[in-house]
Amino acid sequence: MDISLLLTIIGYAIYVAQALLAIWGIYNSVMVYRGLGKRSLDDARAGQLLDQVAALVGKAGQTREAIDLCNRPPYWHTTLAQLVTVGLQNLKRGLAKIKQLLVMEFHTRVISAMENRLASVVTAAKLAPLLGLLGTVIGMIGAFGNVGAGERTADPGSQLAASIALGLWTTAVGLIIASPLMLLANDLQGRLRLLRDNTERQLQGFLEFLEQEEARRAPEGRGAPSPRAGSGSVRAVLPR
């Protein structure tokens, strides 16, 4: 096979790979944005949810009804409702155990999938310029090959220009793909941090409610623990 034809085929394969990377990066970005939109809960609605949970569990003892509330619209997809459900399902296991379960739930069920998709966006942004660099190398190989075969070709100048253009175009395409994907990745990282911070702040009220419930359920003979004992900060609960 003619080496110039082989290099041309490789060059077009690089274009296809870069296009697939762009599609993959954009797709994962959209999925993370959708996930953030579904899981985020503003402070007003978070307060309403916690008030309803406190009314059902604290006053009426209706834990199952409170769990059903978290699993129904408009709360069922939100991070806060998911973590509140874990806490209510393990209400009798103590606050320390509930905190451990919240860490596991938040890390494995809430944030992990979005972080994996975000990693795919970052990978696409980093790999696209590398493919462009590969195209540059392929183009230079073709260019020097055409120079060496100049005496045997009818128009060595045009073939040389085509090889150099291949390398420059693949590099340009890689940078064009990487630049917006890096911007998207940085924005998504900021939004994930915001989701984590908002959830930490909103969970503070729920943990205080659990402390009160633990104190209320404690046998009188053992003495009720202090309402503030062992609470710590929610920021020490969720993974950073």
pLDDT band for position 48 (50/70/90)? very high
Other C-beta atoms closer than 10 Å to the C-beta of 142 total 25
Helices 3-39, 156-217: inter-axial angle, 10-degree rounding: 20
Spatial distance between the Cα atoms of 148 and 32, rounded to a whole number of angstroms: 51
Q: What pLDDT, in 10s, does the model give residues 89-138?
A: 998 888 889 989 998 999 888 899 999 999 999 999 999 999 999 998 88
Nearest to residue 196, comparing CAs of 41, 88, 84?
41
pTM for the structure as a whole: 0.80
pLDDT band for position 224 (50/70/90)? very low
Report the chain's mean pLDDT, rounded to a whole number: 84
Q: Which two tokens stand for residue 94?
A: 């103590």
Return the higher-pLDDT residue of 26 and 8. Answer: 26
The residue extents of the domains of the chain are 3-128+181-236
Q: What pLDDT, in 10s, does the model give residues 149-195?
A: 554 555 556 767 777 888 889 999 999 999 999 999 999 999 999 99
